[in-house]
Amino acid sequence: MVLFLAGSFISNAQTDVVEKEKPFLRHRLTGVIGHALQPTALENGQKKWLALASWGLDYDYKLSRKWAIGLHSDIILQNFNIEEEGAVGGDKSKVLQRKTPLALCAVAIYKPTKHLSTVVGLGEEFSFNKGKSLFIARLGLEYGYEIMEKYELGFSVNYDVKVDAYSTIVLGLGVSRFF
């Protein structure tokens, strides 16, 4: 009896746990709620930092486990004015009105670790008041944590440079679905 118990204990101790590799899901769709931090906004003629509510919808296609490409969109849900420096006619500044601006960026994503991703992209911001469209260069970081199979909770920080206009920092909290 003692030999039987000892033998079964030893054989169980040598059993390796084989982890099943998860299937490689190439598509990711993410809904994001966040705030766009605007350091050069004008309110009552004075420059002021504003935190503007925003939503985002992102689609990514994984090329490999480390690389992906995607289309990221953000819409700022509030109207605001920006003091635009360096008008063409001289040193005068002018006011740039932004009405619920929508940004669309084509991005490349590199994932150096399991949870962290870096984002770089180019795109355009459109304003619904038929205002000036602005060219965007985007740099960002995303941190994602799997909350259940095929779902991830993530935090993102993006720095958008609107060329010849202004810059915005966008902080977001998102839920992703892989398929």
Residues 90-108: tens digit of each pLDDT: 444 688 899 999 999 999 9
How much is the pLDDT for 17? 56
Prediction pTM value: 0.82
- Domain map of the chain by residue range? 25-178
Tokens at 47, concatenated: 């420059």
**What is the C-alpha to C-alpha distance for residues 50 and 155, in angstroms, rounded to an integer?**
20
Yes or no: domain 25-178 corresponds to CATH 2.40.50.140: no
**Helices and strands counted in the chain (H then E):** 1, 10
Contact 25, 150 (CB under 8 A): yes
Mean pLDDT of the residues in the chain: 88
Tell me the HSE value of 175 on the side-chain side, using a 13 A CA sphere.
Answer: 4
**What is the C-alpha to C-alpha distance for residues 57 and 46, in angstroms, rounded to an integer?**
32
pLDDT at 16 over 70: no
**What is the C-alpha to C-alpha distance for residues 95 and 155, in angstroms, rounded to an integer?**
32
Looking at residues 67-79, what average pLDDT do you find?
Answer: 98
